[in-house]
Amino acid sequence: MTNSIVNRPLDILRRFSVTIILLCICLAFALGSSDFFTTSNLLNVALQTSIIAIVAIGMTFTILTAGIDLSVGSVMALSGAIAAGLNVRQGFDPFVAIGIALLIGMLIGAINGLMIIKGGIPPFVATLAMLAIARGLTLVYTQGRPIAGLDERFIYLGTGQIMGIPVPVFIMVVVAIIAHIVTRYTPFGLHVYATGGNEEPTRLAGVSPDRIKLAVYIISGFTAALGGVLLAARLWSAQPNAAVGWELDAIAAPVIGGTSLFGGVGTIGGTVVGAFIIGVLSNGLNLMGVPSYYQQVIKGVVFILAVSLDILTKRRR
Amino acid sequence: MSENKFYLRMEGISKAFPGVQALKDVNFYVARGEIHALVGENGAGKTTLMKILTGALSMDSGSVSLKGSQVEVNTPTDAQQLGISMIHQELSLIPNLTVGQNIYLGREPRWKISAFIDWNRLYTDSQDLLSQLDVDVDARAEVGSLSIAQQQMVEVAKAISLNADLIAMDEPTSSLTDRETEVLFDTMRSFKKRGISIIFISHRLEEVFEISDWVTVLRDGSLIGSEPIKDLDEERVVQMMVGRELGEMYPKGDVQRRGVILEVNNLHDGRELSGVSLELYSGEILGVAGLAGAGRTALAETIFGVRPAITGDIELDGSPVKINSPGEAIRLGMGLVPEDRKQQGLFLNRAIRENIVISALGKLSRFSFINFSKADKLAREFAVKLDIRTPSLRQLVRNLSGGNQQKVVIARWLTLNPRVLILDEPTRGIDVGTKVEIHALMNQLAEGGVGVLMVSSDLPEVLGVSDRILVMREGKVVSEFSREHATQDNIMHAATGGKVNNDK
């Protein structure tokens, strides 16, 4: 008991350490480039980050159950393509088209979940296969060509502003608040943490870990699809190779934000901050003229540092 | 026997697993407010019977009735609703959740008609429960930060919060110190007064005789007997359990102590050990006693190179050695049977023979290729020598009973002919029959000139097996007793520092 009291200041420091790191990075860039700390640039960073943050929030749920969803990048491309295709080729109302695209994202999530719980396929493998399948379906559906000519209302979702703030940033905030409430205040949220902590006692407590897992992959499919739709809207078109490799950022954000890849530990707030660290890094490095090839390397190194931190704290327990 | 005398009646229970009849037509009756011990060797069917009672397993045939009416227990939730709770041997708490979250998992209190958890109520209710049980634990603390004993009490609190009036405890004391066990027993006695029935599974017969009112013995899935404790003695229970006369529990030959084989001076690991010194003689069994957290496991692991030593010297056969890894310790002729055999000692998903020969592959290989026929021969030799009971050496270690698993771990070391063998809790969770065999084996090794260092929380074992006993407290060796002078009392006195420590 004395332990917990002694560790409290340390715990608080640890709890906000990621935010402190984010602020330090911001400070460093603000000193390094006069263009960084301007309203327009900060809004730009928020816009750049918002889509990855939305996808990363869904990813957080899967990682909390000690799973992972590698298919998010492909699901983004597929749902963006379907929403765009239905809107442009079939003349669907953009919101109906988007609704269908989101449902397809959830369906793919459900298939991922079923492969994992019914088939006993490890999440890594099941969603890696889905990464290939969804990308392949995107190429089939788009025939390898971009789908342009979206309805204005569709494009508004990616490029519009409300009171000077980009729409995707608003959507991210809403998604983050809902996800925060779900993880923090609902039995479902607690059961997600429980499943990631230890499945057998969760089952013995009368909670079905399988249902929880199915739900988290559906959530991840949904947020990936939402991210994909917003990406298409921002680019005015659905690209067949949209979001290639985005699963790295979507996984890195929660992990940098303190979500443990071993499951059971992590917060939505942390994920949003983690996404912003990635966003600010690439923005700041751009402003300082660092070539994008180097940025990839830096991103990878930051990711490894975050994972090492997770492993170190885990070992200390 | 009148119909309603019994709170719980399980009748004609049978259950088969592929290849084994786990329970054969077993009857089991528990009265209200009774502490009922369920004993038997590993594999006798105790846990299976309890899992059926609590809905974790389904039975092939038989019936269960509570308070005189027949009930169906198909899921753990059914059992909960009927007021049956089980505290599992492997603690079933979730380490990353708080105490309160664990207690109310699956039935979280909600804010009035909402989908949201009422955290305040959850934590006040759990704190109330804990204080009712006199448990000094913060309901908001993460379970992973608690000691095993505290976690056990959280499990008990959880059972109480379920309004259980029948609690099955599967080996609740196996990882508790004596003092913690007493606290648990006090709690059990107070439950008894409240009319709660407790089914108590334990391998430690002293405990069974200390706490129980009634004893039921199972052997190979069959009911052997069910009698009030006052009509039985330990010897008789053991005989019922093993189905034969066991002879002496702790046979001890005349030991020929030879020279010092291992000498440890002022060992520190920077955390748990603060200057341990000891001498281990060839041909003796040196017992190390102490409370949990006294540094016994740290000592075993530091000598063996699992944990780094900050300062201190180790001499083997009189010459100083530096041991920085288990590999080096093994090359020097040492072996460690670790505390947690499943996590640290075995490759559960590999065959018995692979587990036995893995450390001896060097001498079984030529030009880096394993000579499998030699490996097989070696594995068979030790399986026979240690009487590992299995239809085939290709059997996965996962499928063996705890006692046979431990024999596999020991067999692995014996393939290397170690000069020093360190055993950490060698018989924890192991049935009486196998326990005696393992003790006999340790004696045999000592007679052959091996220095045996045994860490154990089981005081009768320490007293019965050791030639000499060291007592550790707070990372130091505080006392040494010869076999003749050691008693349960003076060891406990030394281990606790002569006063009863109330806060741990």
What pLDDT tens digit does each residue of chain B (504 aa) get?
A: 444 578 899 999 999 876 677 899 999 999 999 999 999 876 788 888 998 998 888 899 999 999 888 999 888 888 888 999 888 876 679 999 999 999 999 889 998 878 899 999 999 999 998 988 878 899 999 998 888 788 888 988 888 888 888 999 988 887 777 777 888 898 899 889 989 999 999 878 888 999 999 999 998 889 999 999 999 888 888 888 877 655 566 777 666 778 899 999 999 988 888 889 999 999 999 999 988 778 899 999 999 999 888 888 999 988 999 899 999 999 999 999 998 888 888 998 898 988 998 888 888 888 888 888 888 899 999 898 888 888 888 888 888 888 889 999 999 999 999 999 999 999 887 877 888 889 989 998 998 899 999 999 888 889 889 999 999 988 889 999 998 888 888 888 888 776 433 333
User: How far apart are the two ends of chain B, measured CA to CA in Å?
Assistant: 44
> Does residue B85 sit at the A interface (CB-CB below 8 Å)?
no
Q: Which residues contact A259 (CB under 8 A, 6 or more apart)?
A: A60, A63, A64, A265, A266, A267, A270, A271, A274
- The string of pLDDT tens digits covering residues A92-151 is 999 999 999 999 999 999 999 999 999 999 999 999 999 999 999 999 999 999 999 999
CB within 8 Å: A194 and B138: no
How far apart CA B465 and CA B483 sit, in angstroms, is 9
Per DSSP, what are the bridge partners of residue B321?
B314
Report how many Cβ contacts below 8 Å link chain A to chain B. 77
B120 and chain A in contact, CB less than 8 A: no
Which of B7, B46, B254, B292 minimizes the C-alpha distance to B148?
B292
Under an 8 A CB cutoff, do B117 and A193 touch?
Answer: no
Whether A315 shows a pLDDT value over 70: the answer reads: no
Of A1, A190, A193, the CB nearest to B136: A1
User: Which structure tokens are listed for B49?
Assistant: 């019977």
What percentage of chain A has pLDDT greater than the value 90?
73
- Chosen for mutation from A195, A198, A203 (greatest number of chain B CBs closer than 10 Å) is A198
DSSP state letter for A69 = -
Domains and CATH numbers, chain B: 3-242 (3.40.50.300), 249-333+419-431+445-504 (3.40.50.300), 341-417 (no CATH)
Tokens coding B455 = 């860490």
Q: How far is A112 from chain B (nearest CA, A)?
A: 25
| Closest CA relative to residue B457, chosen from B170, B179, B185 | B179
Which of A14, A180, A185, A314 to mutate to test binding with chain B, by most B CBs within 10 Å of its CB?
A185
B56 touching A (Cβ < 8 Å): yes
Q: Which residues of B touch A204 (CB under 8 A)?
A: 56, 76, 88, 92
pLDDT digits (tens, 9 = 90+) for A240-298: 999 999 999 999 999 999 899 989 999 999 999 999 999 999 899 988 888 888 888 98
Query: Which residue type does A39 have?
Result: T
Beta-carbon separation of A197 and B76 below 8 A? no
Q: Which residues contact A309 (CB under 8 A, 6 or more apart)?
A: none
List beta partners, residue B477: B472
Contact A242/A77 with Cβ under 8 angstroms? yes
Is B140 in contact with B93 (CB distance < 8 Å)? Answer: no
Q: Using alpha carbons, list the distances in angstroms from residue A99 to A61, A82, A94, A222, B317.
A: 22, 10, 8, 10, 77
Query: Searching chain A, which residue's CA lies closest to the CA of residue B135?
Result: A1
Q: Pick from B56, B94, B117: which is nearest to A186 by CB?
A: B117
CB B420, CB B80: distance < 8 Å: no
Task: Quote the DSSP letter at residue B117.
Answer: B
Option in B95, B105, B110 nearest A205 (CB): B105
Q: How far apart are CA B227 and CA B219, in angstroms?
A: 15
Token digits of residue B362: 């060097």
Please say whether the beta carbons of B23 and B14 come within 8 A.
yes
Pairing, β B451-455 against β B420-424: parallel
Distance from CA of B465 to the nearest CA of A (A): 34
The confidence band for A304, taking pLDDT boundaries of 50, 70 and 90, is confident
Q: Which of B54, B94, B151 to mutate to test the interface with A (most CBs of A within 10 A)?
A: B94
Q: Do A4 and B92 touch (CB under 8 A)?
A: no
DSSP B7: E
- Looking at the complex, report in whole angstroms how far the Cα of residue A173 sits from the nearest Cα belonging to chain B: 20
Q: What SS3 state is found at A237?
A: strand
Q: Which two tokens stand for residue B230?
A: 């006052």
Tokens of B269: 């690991």
Do residues B260 and B443 make contact, with C-beta atoms less than 8 angstroms apart? no
Concatenated DSSP letters for A261-276? TTSS---HHHHHHHHH
- Looking at the complex, does the CB of residue A1 fall below 8 Å from at least one CB of chain B? yes
C-alpha to C-alpha distance for A7 and A174, rounded to whole angstroms: 34
Q: Count CB atoms within 10 A of the CB of residue B356.
A: 29
Mean pLDDT of chain A: 91
Contacts of B136 in chain A (CB under 8 A): 1
How close B178 comes to chain A (CA, Å)? 21
Please identify among residues 203-222 of chain A the ones whose CB lies closer than 8 Å to any CB of chain B: 203-207
Name the minimum distance, in Å, from the CA of A290 to any CA of chain B.
41
- The Cα-based distances of B6 to A62, B34, B69 in angstroms read 48, 10, 11
pTM of the model: 0.75
In the block, which residue shows the tokens 């508004």? A156
Q: Å from B3 to nearest chain A CA?
A: 31
Facing residues of B336 across strands? B422
Three-state secondary-structure class, residue B25: strand
Q: How many angstroms separate the CA atoms of B143 and B102, rounded?
A: 8
Provide the residue type at A170 as one letter: F
Tell which residue, B277, B196, B205, B322, has the closest CA to residue B477: B277
> Three-state SS across B181-219?
HHHHHHHHHHHHHCCCEEEEECCCHHHHHHHCCEEEEEE
CA B309 to chain centre: 28
Do the strands B334-337 and B20-31 form a parallel or antiparallel pair, or are they unpaired? unpaired
- In angstroms, the CA B310 to CA B302 distance is 10
- CB spacing of B95 vs A198 below 8 angstroms: yes
B-facing residues of A in 168-197 (CB < 8 A) are: 181, 185-187, 190-191, 193-194, 196-197
Question: Radius of gyration of chain B from Cα atoms?
Answer: 24
The C-alpha atoms of residue A125 and residue A69 are separated, in whole angstroms, by: 9
Joined together, the tokens standing for residue A73 give 């990048």
Secondary structure (H, E, C), B303-348: HCCCCCCCEEEEEECCEEECCCCHHHHHHCCEEEECCCHHHHHCCC
Q: Does A202 touch chain B (CB under 8 A)?
A: yes
Contact check, Cβ <8 Å, A190/B108:
yes
CA-based nearest residue in chain A for residue B141: A4
Do residue B101 and residue A194 have CB atoms under 8 angstroms apart? Answer: yes
Beta carbons of B127 and B86 less than 8 angstroms apart: no
Amino acid identity, residue B445?
L
Q: Residue B114: its pLDDT value, please? A: 81
Instruction: Count other Cβ atoms within 10 Å, centred on residue B424.
Output: 25
| Total residues belonging to chain A | 317
| Residue A317 touches partner B, C-beta closer than 8 Å | yes
Q: Which residue has the tokens 């085939």?
A: B392
Rg (CA), chain A: 20
Q: Give the separation between CA B76 and CA B224, rounded to whole angstroms.
A: 28
Q: What is the ipTM of this complex?
A: 0.85
